[in-house]
Amino acid sequence: MVAAQVRGISAGDAEAVAGVLGRAFDDDPVWQWIIPRPEGRVARLAAVFELLTDKVHRPRGGCEVAGRGGEIEAAALWDPPGEWTVPLSVQLRQVVPLVRAFGLRMPTSLRALHAVERRHPSEPHWYLAVLGTDPGAQGNGLGGALLESGLSRCEGMPAYLESTKESNVPFYERFGFRVTERFEPPGGCPPVWLMWRRPA
């Protein structure tokens, strides 16, 4: 097995990262609820993740990619303490791309996502907004390598994430996260597991 190589996300990585995350979340229950039609879902997800990577998370300095042999096969989008919210100016610039991605589901989807956001802890923490591995590269330790790298920067701070798949909960528990709530957003959105990690 080739060892995972982890590095920070650069400005030119957004498209590759978006493709990886689009494929990684194609079978995710919440994203399937937001974008029900399988035709074109990966492309629409990639458009959303490119926007989130390049305009929201990467500029904050906590994002990384992992792969074997120089390839980008997994990505983690982290936000430092106090920087997890999206400014109104950035939200307004995202409206048109999000309408293209979400279509008529946008109002219902945003209601559900905002309900999850309202449960976000107020205590200072590192926030793992997104972690995903290309399906063809799963099982090679890339997600674990990204988590270890990200958690090593927490420096005595807690960490928080929302898991949209119950099957991923044991994976995060191996790294010290614990479920604080199983939350069911409004509108029929599938449940989300809110997870908190105390400082090591």
| pLDDT at position 24 | 98
Q: Look at residue 88 in the predicted model and tell me its pLDDT.
A: 57
pLDDT for 34 beyond 80: yes
What rounded mean pLDDT belongs to the chain? 91
- Tens digits of per-residue pLDDT, 95-147? 666 677 777 677 888 889 889 999 999 999 999 999 999 999 999 999 999 99
Segment 65-93 shows an average pLDDT of 85
Q: For residues 185 and 175, what is the distance between their CA atoms, to the nearest angstrom? A: 26
Tell me the mean pLDDT in the region 30-36. Answer: 93
Domains of the chain, start order: 5-151 (3.40.630.30)
pLDDT class for 93, splitting at 50, 70, 90?
A: low
CB 146 within 8 A of CB 131: yes
Q: What does the alpha-carbon distance between residue 179 and residue 175 come to, in Å, rounded to a whole number?
A: 12
pLDDT at 89: 62
What pLDDT, on the 0 to 100 scale, is given for residue 91?
Answer: 62
At residue 173, the pLDDT reads 98
Residue 87 has pLDDT above 70, yes or no: no
> Would strands 159-163 and 192-197 be described as parallel, antiparallel, or unpaired?
antiparallel
Q: What is the mean pLDDT of residues 34-49?
A: 92
198 has a pLDDT exceeding 60: yes
Mean pLDDT of all residues in 15-31: 96
pLDDT at 32 over 80: yes
CB 50 within 8 A of CB 98: no
pLDDT of residue 11: 86
Q: What percent of the chain has pLDDT over 90?
A: 74
Answer whether residue 1 shows pLDDT above 80: no
| Distance between CA atoms of residues 73 and 158, nearest Å | 27
User: Quick one: pLDDT at residue 125?
Assistant: 96
pLDDT tens track for 162-192: 999 999 999 999 999 999 999 999 999 999 9
